[in-house]
Structure 1
Amino acid sequence: MAEAISNCLKVWKDREGKLLRLRLSRPKANIVDAEMIAALTAALAEGASDQHLRGVLIDHEGPHFSFGASVAEHMPDQCAAMLASLHKLVIAMVDFPLPILVAVRGQCLGGGLEVALAGHMMFVSPDAKLGQPEIVLGVFAPAASCLLPERMPRVAAEDLLYSGRSIDGAEAARLGIANAVVDDPENAALAWFDNGPVKHSAASLRYAVKAARLGMNERVKAKIAEVEALYLNGLMATRDAVEGLNAFLEKRPALWEDR
């Protein structure tokens, strides 16, 4: 089986070409930066046109799925380009015509969780730590603000977005973020694929995915545009947002002035 490797993402076909495998391969952090976003976007664009494909599995090297997006790329001079590219990836995943499975171990935070949430099914380990800690840095999570309420009760989504706390695999499954909490998420995702989509007509599966996501896709895409504008034109004009990001990069406590 041939394997194509970029600097941050391994890409190959499995199950006789019916499953596209994408593996984040810059451990231990697997930061979702411009390079990682571009690699994922390109791989998914190519996979979407493969008429024999039945699904995608995104997993990771190392003990952690992802520590999140690049904080440096959130600074005022870079955040517009970063958000545009990340949200393009999220929309490509939300709109992807076949099931995207995500296998998560360890930390899956910030932009890493936003990528995982944009998939269709998530398999997590018991010790996984999922969260949106952006508020701790004085910012908020645009894509997660759109995706979390689609996957779990709104009260639970707001808890994660406002508190910045992380939840383990069991709580993720109980709240509906994860489909299953298992010791080996990759093998669980492969078993689900082998017992279902790999046996089905690829053409029929595309219609089933489209039908299941009617309405949800439109809501997420419309809301992402609004929250991106809110982030860039509102949040990033505040003093505390820039202070929080600078404090993180400088490894010091943030000094909030509430403005």
Structure 2
Amino acid sequence: MNYENLHVEKSNQIAKVFINRPKKLNALNRATLQEIHEAFKGLKDDDEVKVIILTGTGEKAFVAGADIAEFANYSVEEGKDLAAKGQTLVFDYLANFPKPIIAAVNGFALGGGLELAMAAHFRIASENAKLGLPETSLGVIPGYGGTQRLPQLIGKGRAMQMIMTAEMITAQKALDYGLVNQVVQLDELIDVAEKLAGKIMNNSMKAIEAAIKAINNNYKDGVDGFKTEIAAFGEAFGTNDFKEGTEAFLNKRKANF
């Protein structure tokens, strides 16, 4: 499928999704959010894809934020609709996606861009990356889950400071905070992401899907993550992957999932 604002590549069971609006520093507008949803919906059903790498086109920006010109004159109701639909279509959708998503943060990840990266299952960043939630400098707050996911990742106090000051942090500070898992040179970013994807694909994708659900349920109100884990652990015993994994271990060979 051809997209106006995305570029998708697939090889070796890995899909790379590029936010492709370089003249706008890959800023998110409604059309781009819709295309992200459509692209990931297709990848969800694509049996030839096991892991997705999400990144931005070019060297300057992952996603530099939302496209402010699009919503500058929105009403209260339009603002609520923008946040609600965005979270449903993209940010919550990616956070609960059954296949692993690695955000490869190249350059600026600000506002909606950082929220997009945080919706991925984990993040690696280039040395030139700058991350932040500057919405309060515009008289608004993060609307795509930033006030929820940032404290989960770096702690309440640090999240409060980042959001209140609207300041950007460096890739190194993001690593120190636990916001990203690894910092690498820009020209190595995609290669490192692909190597991580390869390590993931050595394991049972059914088990990984169950683990994603169990981990996420720890952060959902009214849901007992421990019960999710117990149920998924038990159900794993009935899968071919469990049979293959245990037989491979006992016979001292590599599992073929």
TM-score calculated relative to the size of structure 1: 0.77
Write out per-residue CA displacement over residues 192-241 of structure 1, whole angstroms, 9 at most, x where no aligned residue. 111x222223222211222222222x25x9xxxxxxxxxxxxxxxxxxxx
User: Which residue of 201, 213, 233 corresponds with 1:210?
Assistant: 213
Gaps of at least 5 residues in structure 1 are: 222-259
Partner in structure 2 of residue 68 of structure 1? 65
What is the rounded CA distance, in whole Å, between the counterparts of 2:208 and 2:100 in structure 1?
A: 9
Number of equivalenced pairs: 214
Written as runs of structure 1 = structure 2, the 5 A alignment for 1:29-68 is 29-62=25-58, 63-68=60-65
Name the residue aligned to 2:134: 133
Does structure 1 residue 19 correspond to structure 2 residue 42? no
> How large is the Cα RMSD of the aligned pairs?
1.9
What residue is the counterpart of 2:189 in the other structure? 185
CA contact (8 A) 1:69 1:111 kept: yes
- Pairing 1:107–2:111 present: no
Q: Structure 1 pair 52/207, CA: closer, same or farther in 2 (3 Å)?
A: farther
Asked whether the equivalents of residues 107 and 126 of structure 2 are also in contact (C-alpha less than 8 Å), the reply is yes
Work out which of the two has the higher radius of gyration on C-alpha atoms and give 1 or 2. 2
CA apart distance, 1:53? 3.2
Aligned AA (2:35): A
Taking the aligned partners of 1:191 and 1:91, their CA distance within structure 2 comes to 26
Matched residues in 2 for 1:215 and 1:73: separation?
Answer: 35
8 Å CA contact 2:96–2:212 kept in 1: the answer is no
Residue by residue over 1:162-200, the C-alpha shift from the partner in whole angstroms, topping out at 9 and shown as x without a partner, is 110000100001101101011032221111111x22222
Aligned-pair CA distance for 1:26: 1.1
Aligned residue for 1:192, secondary structure, equals: helix
> Secondary structure of 2:124's match?
strand
1:24 aligned partner, one-letter code: I
Give the deviation of 1:64 after TM superposition. Answer: 1.0
Task: Measure how far apart 1:7 and its partner are.
Answer: 0.9
| Identity between Structure 1 and Structure 2 (%) | 26
| TM-score, with length taken from structure 2 | 0.78
Unaligned runs of 5+ in 2: 224-257
Q: Which has the higher contact order (CA 8 A, sep 6+)?
A: 1
For 1:103, what is the secondary structure of its paired residue? strand
Deviation at 1:51, TM superposition (A): 4.2
The 5 A counterparts of 1:120-159 are 120-142=121-143, 143-159=145-161
